[in-house]
Structure 1
Amino acid sequence: MADKSHPRTKEIFKKLEASERRLRVAGYVPDTESVLHDLSHEGKEESLCNHSRRLPIAYELVSTFPGTTLQITKTLRACVNCHSATKIISKLVNREILVRDADRFHHFKDGLRSCGHYC
């Protein structure tokens, strides 16, 4: 588990793990080829689960009321795994998710994305 400096770390990681299970049931398969680290297959999958946008999404899910639009800002471009996972998460949690990265806004709603698979 990550650093426990945030008062809601346990709750956030519990939500992240639950989201990951729901993603798998919904058919999400991570693209482990995009992970640059020399890790085992399971290590690569875990690394992707805690990746760039997934952690802030989990935080937003535990910190906002149901139905609230999630707004995530990152300075790096979205990776293909975060992009695919966010699309599915939007449907699973019935929320709009807006992600601003270095190049553009990505809008996810009902399992669809507005950016034409650009990531």
Structure 2
Amino acid sequence: MFAFYFHMCVETHDIFNDPLSMWIEWESGEEPKMHWQVQIIYAVQSAFYIHSIYATLFMDLWRKDSWLMFVHHFVALALLFLSYVNNFTLPGVLVLFLHDNSDATLEITKLSFYLKKTNKRTVL
């Protein structure tokens, strides 16, 4: 929700209506200023993916896609780190916003699949 707020309500960034505006600060040849809202988003997302790596390995039930989820969380954390270090944070926040929305859809789909699988009734 905070990423949604950043994209829609922060007046200095109009990335949804003008996606190329995230590159304007780079045209001067200097790195753009890091915004405090972006730092909060990156900190929360990094904490989430660190926890997800731990949870996938040690807390979750082991399923067929567990290794894939582990790799997914590790790659997402690596991309967060690389975009932060190289100061590509405005495109990174947009990718995080889109990624989180698709992750929610994926989790709802997986949940409905597992619920359907466990609620099978035998007919006598």
TM-score w.r.t. the length of structure 1 is 0.31
Question: RCO (CA 8 Å, sep 6+): is it higher in 1 or 2?
Answer: 2
Greater share of strand residues, 1 or 2? 1
User: Greater share of helix residues, 1 or 2?
Assistant: 2
Task: Using structure 2 for the length normalisation, give the TM-score.
Answer: 0.30
Higher Rg: 2
